[in-house]
Amino acid sequence: MPEPTGYEVETGPVAGPRRYLILPIAAAVAIAAVAAAASLLTREPPRALPVAQPGEVAPSASSVGRALPASVDCGAMRAFDCREAVDAAQQAIADVPAAVEAARAWPTLICGDNFDCPPPLLAASDPVGSVALTLSDRGVVWINVFRVAQPNRLNETRQVVEARVVRWFRDPA
């Protein structure tokens, strides 16, 4: 059998020219440090949160820019869930010119029919509870609050609190 034809190659280590990377790495670190320092210097200082009085719900950081209700009644609802529900309810009616004077929250939903509590929404969410907001113009708003799964840009799912207005009417008193 004849030998396969080919050729011989001399083997040896493969090495490229030496390049000094210290200077570019040091420049990149210096630029990153300057950018971080500049962002820290232009950031607004954190605002102090108002302190809750006994029997009231402590405000969250997202509600500092908004006026909090003068009275909040959580009833049998956990304080954290109550705070989230009241904050979500206020956000749901944020464009209303009347101020919120009082909020009353409870751990059940206000469901009169399938329009108030649509079955697909109930199946796709975790109910937090309901909030009744009393406005300065004698308006009363009933709001259901849910935790719904919301994907973020990294395709991870996180729970977001959302509010849905159920009824809006004027208190005759």
8 vs 81, which has greater pLDDT?
81
Residue 142: predicted pLDDT: 92
pLDDT digits (tens, 9 = 90+) for 26-76: 888 888 887 777 766 655 444 444 445 444 545 444 444 455 687 888 888
Helix count and strand count (H, E) for the chain: 3, 5
The sheet carrying 100-106 orders its strands as 71-73, 100-106, 125-135, 139-151, 157-170
77 vs 1, which has greater pLDDT?
77
Residue 32: predicted pLDDT: 83
Give alpha helix (H) positions in the chain: 22-42, 79-92, 119-123
Query: What's this model's pTM, rounded to 2 decimal places?
Result: 0.58
Report percent pLDDT > 90 for the chain. 15
pLDDT digits (tens, 9 = 90+) for 82-99: 989 999 999 999 888 888
Average model confidence (pLDDT) for the chain? 77
Q: Are strands 100-106 and 71-73 parallel, antiparallel or unpaired?
A: parallel
In this structure, what are the phi and psi dihedrals at residue 54, rounded to the nearest 5 degrees? -60, 135
Q: What tokens were used for 55?
A: 């029997």
Q: Which amino acid is at 34?
A: V
Q: How confident is the model at residue 104 (pLDDT cuts 50, 70, 90)?
A: very high
